[in-house]
Amino acid sequence: MIATIRLNSRNLQLDLSEPLDISIPLRGGQDNINAWYLDPPQIKPHEDGDFIGKVSEGASTNFNTIQFNPHSHVTHTECLGHITKAFHSVNRTLKRYFFFAELITVAPEKIGNDFVISEKQLRYALGNKKREALVVRTIPNLTNKCSAKYSNTNPAFFLREAITYLVSKGIEHLLVDLPSVDKEKDDGALAGHKAFWDVDGNPRTQATITEFIYVDNTIEDGSYVLELQVAPFENDASPSRPLLYKII
């Protein structure tokens, strides 16, 4: 299905029948992705007395209970409410779902014991391009990202000045294949999150950060249309399924 949509005063043509899924699904158990020192998510049949919600156990339907944390266990999109005292719901933040996006691949630089994404790298990758959304794939980019255990591993993160640069470029939706844009152990500073949402200035209530994506190596860097849909949870973050569409 070929469709034409208008974004940033440009008419963009894309094939809706060929979406590129860059989400990581939720699976119950140890094989699922995990971060922030939580136990694995659980997906199991509800039990009540002799009742087991599983067709193979005699029930008329499969009736599973799912226990997980979006920040730890699945591709998720978060809003300003992730770091504010006041409640903000990601379900109410997104008013539209298609954005002009750029996919870039970055090799985090080693500084001391850290691997970081710098402003210089982003400037080189973006140049004069103006986009609403930025999708960042880090290398090495192995499929084990879909089941990695990130707790206490000090994953790569964005330097504050890199995030400030993205804000200056007008990036409103940042998607990364990391557990966070900030350092795992930063004593609660959250410099990247705070800079992206400008919490100490003019808060960017419309902006979102999506973490735990996975961009297959077969997907080339370049311009795409991003469809960003979230599950309708009234929460600071929700599981999401970002899709990229090639521009024809």
* Residue 9 pLDDT: 83
Average of pLDDT values for 33-54?
A: 97
Instruction: Tell me which residue of 178, 180, 184, 111 sits closest to 153, measured CA to CA.
Output: 184
* Local confidence band at 8 (pLDDT 50, 70, 90 cut-offs): confident
pTM over 0.85: yes
Average of pLDDT values for 158-185?
A: 98
Give the residue extent of every domain in the chain: 2-24+77-246, 26-73
CATH architecture of the domain with residue range 2-24+77-246: 3-Layer(bba) Sandwich (3.50)
Q: pLDDT tens across 56-102, in order? A: 999 999 999 999 999 999 999 999 999 999 999 999 999 999 999 99
Average of pLDDT values for 157-182?
A: 98
The Cα 70–Cα 239 span in angstroms is 6
Determine contact, residues 28/41, Cβ cutoff 8 Å: yes
* Residue 3 pLDDT: 85
In the DSSP assignment, the letter for residue 56 is: G
User: Percent of the chain having pLDDT more than 90?
Assistant: 94
Secondary structure (DSSP) of 16-44? TTS-EE------SSTTS-B-TTPPPPEEE
Omega within 30 of 0 (cis) for the link into 140: yes
* Local confidence band at 115 (pLDDT 50, 70, 90 cut-offs): very high
User: Percent of the chain having pLDDT more than 70?
Assistant: 100
Average of pLDDT values for 10-14?
A: 90
Indicate if the alpha-carbon torsion angle 104, 109, 115, 120 is positive or negative: negative
Q: pLDDT tens across 191-207, in order? A: 999 999 999 999 999 99
Average of pLDDT values for 32-39?
A: 98
Q: pLDDT tens across 119-168, in order? A: 999 999 999 999 999 999 999 999 999 999 999 999 999 999 999 999 99
